[in-house]
Structure 1
Amino acid sequence: MLLIDKYAYMNRWQHIHPIEKMVFTFFLMLFSLTVKDTLVSLITFTVMSAFTILGAKIPFKYYFKLLLVPSFFLLSSMLTILISVSSNHSLSPSSLWTTEFLGFHIFITENSVETAIQLFFTVLSSISCLYFLTLTTPIHDILHVLRKLKVPALLIELTEITYRFIFVFLETSLKIHQAQNSRLGYFTVKQSIHSLGLLVSTLFVHVFQRSKELIIAMNSRCYTEDIKLLEGEYSFSKRNWVLIGLISFSIVSVYIQFGGSLNG
C-alpha cells in the first residue's frame, strides 16, 4: 500500500464527511486559480498545509517530500516564462538582466518575474489543496461523492480501475527490479539500460495479463457495468460548515481588500 493511501485511511480527520472536505478543497483551489493573486495563493497554501500537517497529523517530512514531486515540472515551467530569447537588438527598458549568446539576446523582464512568481504560488496553493484531499480522504469516498454528483459512471469506473492498477504496476515493477538487481542487472550503465528495457516490456505484458484476468473475474461475478463499493457512514457537522464558511469568507475578504498588493 502506498503511504499516501495509508494516510488517507488512518489520518486524524478520516471520519469527517468527504463532501465537507471536497467543498472546502475545491472552493479554495478554484478561487485561487481564478483570481491568480499571490497573496491569496500564499494564504491558501499556508491554510491547507497547516490543516494537513497539524490538523490531519500527516508527518511533515512526508508532506515535504510530496511537495518536491512536482517541483521539476514547476521549475521548468517557471524558467520558460522567466527567460526570454530575442534576435532583436532593441531590448525592453524593463529588462532586469540580459546577456548575448550566438547572436541572440537572452533577458529577464519585470513582467516575466511577476508572472513566474504568480505561477509558482498559484500552482503551489493548488497542489496543497489536492494533497489535503488525497491525504485525508480515501479514494472510494471521493468516488461516492462523484456518484452523488451524477458524474458519468464510465468515468468513475475508469478512475477506480486506474487507481487499482497503480498498485499492480508498483508491485510488479518492484519484484522485477529486485530480481534483476540480485543478478547484477544494474552493475554497469549498459546493463542498466538493457535491464530497464526488459523491465518495461515485461511489466507491460504482465499488467496486460492481469487486466484480462480482472475482466474474467468481474464477468464471473455478474458485472453489470457498475462497480459497487460499500459506502462509509458519515454525518455532517455544523461546526465544520461554519469553519469552512469563515475561512472562505476571510480569504475572499482579503482578496477584495488587498488583492494585487503582492503582484505589483
Structure 2
Amino acid sequence: MLPLDAVAYTNRWRPRHPAEKAFLSLGLLTCAVALPPWPGAPVVGVVAAMLLLGPAGVAPRQVWRAMKVPLGFVTVGSLPLLVAVGGTPWIRFEPTGVPLALQLAGRATAALLCLLLFAATTPLADTLPRLNRLGVPPAITEVSALMYRMLFLLLESVRTVREAQASRLGFRTWATSYRSLAGQGGAIFVRAFERARRMEEGLALRGYTGSLRVEVEQRPVSQPFVVATGVLLVVVVVGTLTLRRVLA
C-alpha cells in the first residue's frame, strides 16, 4: 500500500462521507484559484494545512512525505520566470519575474494542500463507487478501479524482480545495471500482460455482464459539517479580501 493510501485509511475523517470532504477541499481549491494570490494563497494554504494536521489527524511527516515530490515540480516550474532570454547577455536573471514566481509558487502550493486535504482523508475505494450516482459511466469507474488495483500488483512485481536482480549482483556496474533495468522492464511487461489476461478470464467465468457491483457503505451526510464548511469558505473569502484591502 502506498503511504498516501495508508494515511487515507487511518485518519480521523475516514468515516465521513466523501461528499463532505469534497465540498471542503474543492471549495478551498476554488478560493486558492479565484482569490488574489496575495494574501489569498497563504490564507488558503494555512487553513488547509491546519485542517490536515488538526481535525483530520494527519501527522506532519506524512504531509511532508506526500508533498515533497509535487513541491519539487512547483519549484522547477517557477524558476523559468526568474530567467530572461535574449539581448545582452543572452540569458540573465530577471528581477521583475520574482513577484510572478512567488505568486505562482504560492498559488500552486495552496492548491496542492487543498487537493491533499481530500486525497489524504478519502480512499479511492470510497470515491469511485459513488461517482456513478453523479452520472459518471460505470465503465470509467470500473477501469479506474482495475488500474488502481493493478498499480499495486505492478509495484510488488517491480520490488520482487529488483530484489532478485540485486541478489544476483545485477547492479554491480553501470553495464550490469542497464542490462538489469532492461530485463526488469521486459519481465514487468510480461507479468502485467499475464495478470490482465487472468483477470479477464476470471471476470468472464464469473458471468461479467459489463458492470461490477460492489457494496457501498452507507454514510449519512453531516449537516453541521456542511454548514461549518460553508461558513469557513465565507470567512476565507471575506478575510482574504479584508487583508488585501488593509495591506494595499
The TM-score range, normalised by the shorter chain, is: over 0.9
TM-score normalised by structure 2 residue count: 0.92
Higher fraction of helix:
2
Q: Distance in 1 between matches of 2:38 and 2:130?
A: 31
What amino acid is the match of 1:107? F
What amino acid is the match of 2:210? E
Alignment of 1:30-179 (within 5 A): 30-35=30-35, 37-86=37-86, 88-89=87-88, 100=89, 104-110=90-96, 112-179=97-164
Whether contact under 8 Å (1:13, 1:136) holds in the other structure is: yes
Q: Find out whether 1:7 has 2:7 as its counterpart.
A: yes
Q: 1:35 to 1:260 in 2, by over 3 A?
A: farther
Q: Partner of 2:169 in structure 1?
A: 184
TM-score normalised by structure 1 residue count: 0.87
1:191-210 CA distance string (max 9 Å, x none):
11211111112111111111
Q: Partner of 1:97 in structure 2?
A: none
Deviation at 1:259, TM superposition (A): 4.2
Whether contact under 8 Å (1:9, 1:137) holds in the other structure is: yes
Note the residue ranges of structure 1 that are not aligned, 5 or more in a row: 90-99
Greater mean deviation of Cα atoms: 72-81 or 17-26 = 72-81
Whether contact under 8 Å (1:32, 1:44) holds in the other structure is: yes
Whether contact under 8 Å (1:39, 1:261) holds in the other structure is: no
Whether contact under 8 Å (1:37, 1:259) holds in the other structure is: no
Length, aligned pairs only: 248
Give me the identity figure in percent: 26
Greater mean deviation of Cα atoms: 45-54 or 239-248 = 45-54
Deviation at 1:188, TM superposition (A): 1.6
Q: Distance in 2 between matches of 1:36 and 1:212?
A: 51
Give the secondary structure class of the aligned counterpart of 2:220: coil
RMSD of Structure 2 on Structure 1 (CA): 1.9
Q: Distance in 2 between matches of 1:59 and 1:75?
A: 24
Runs of 4+ in 1 over 3 A off after TM superposition: 258-262
Alignment of 1:196-211 (within 5 A): 196-211=181-196
Give the secondary structure class of the aligned counterpart of 1:69: helix
Deviation at 1:257, TM superposition (A): 2.7
Alignment of 1:230-241 (within 5 A): 230-241=215-226
Q: Choose the corresponding residue for 1:242, options 211, 222, 227.
A: 227
Q: 1:145 to 1:129 in 2, by over 3 A?
A: farther
